[in-house]
Amino acid sequence: MEKHLIVLDLDGTLLTDDKTISDRTKKTLLKAKQNGHEVMIATGRPYRASEAYYRELSLNTPIVNFNGAFVHHPLNDKWGIHHEPMDLSVVKEIVDACHDFDFYNIVAEILDDVYLHYHDEKLLDIFSFGDPVIRSGDLRTYLPENPTSMLIHAEESQVEKIRKHLSDVHAEVIDHRRWGAPWHVIEIVKTGLNKAVGIQKVSDHYGIPKDRIIAFGDEDNDLEMLEFAGTGVAMENGINSVHQTANYITGSNNEDGIAVFLEDRLKLK
């Protein structure tokens, strides 16, 4: 069988609800690699929060982080480092505007460094994965350079109002998404970036055409890559728009959905 590129979202897809990779899925992915296929991760997480899974699967491929804003090869610097941050002046304007709405906090990440607008012990717990440098202070005055991404944690009733403002004022320079429940979070990156942009860099490197790309996802930040891949596979636990976009629906992240699909599709049993 010709070489395929297998692309894995992490949360809600590769990872079970307890944030682990099931034994069956791990074995199936290792068998796919042994059969000559390439396996890669494409996630909204920063690298520091995905490295452990990259190593657990013994991957040797580039990785897409921050929904395409950062693409690199952890084991080969010569492959290229593709980092496309947001413009700092736009970030300051967004922070200014957020003060017209009810929000809890704003987080900016510069690769693996984390900057909180307000000190927040709960967010510190969430963002401390991978042991990053974490600082707190007014993002308008102490953010040192263009951030890779930005998160706005707001009142549920305010999320769509803030998103409307972002679309009305900054549509040409940023893209934004809403996190899935229970988080009322808006995620912002530079315009034109998504997982598919990063995956294309990797597929071009390996010379693997779209019709031999199999991508798995569950949330709206997976839509572009599911459309880009020749075979887009939605997890059963995925949102409706993912189900509608994908070519196939497999079992949930807690039911070895990735393994079930690949065992059949790539004859890995």
Catalytic residue numbers, as ranges: 9
Q: Which residues, 6 or more positions from 45, have their beta carbon under 8 angstroms from its beta carbon?
A: 10, 11, 65, 66
Contacts of 238-246 with C-beta under 8 Å, sequence gap 24+, read 238/12, 239/180, 242/217, 242/218, 246/217
If DSSP codes are grouped into helix, strand and coil, which group holds residue 151?
Answer: strand
If DSSP codes are grouped into helix, strand and coil, which group holds residue 11?
Answer: strand
* Residue 85 near residue 68, CB atoms below 8 Å: no
User: What's the gap between Cα 58 and its chain centre?
Assistant: 20
Q: How far is CA 85 from CA 70, 82, 189, 192, 245, in A?
A: 8, 10, 7, 11, 28
User: What's the gap between Cα 225 and its chain centre?
Assistant: 11
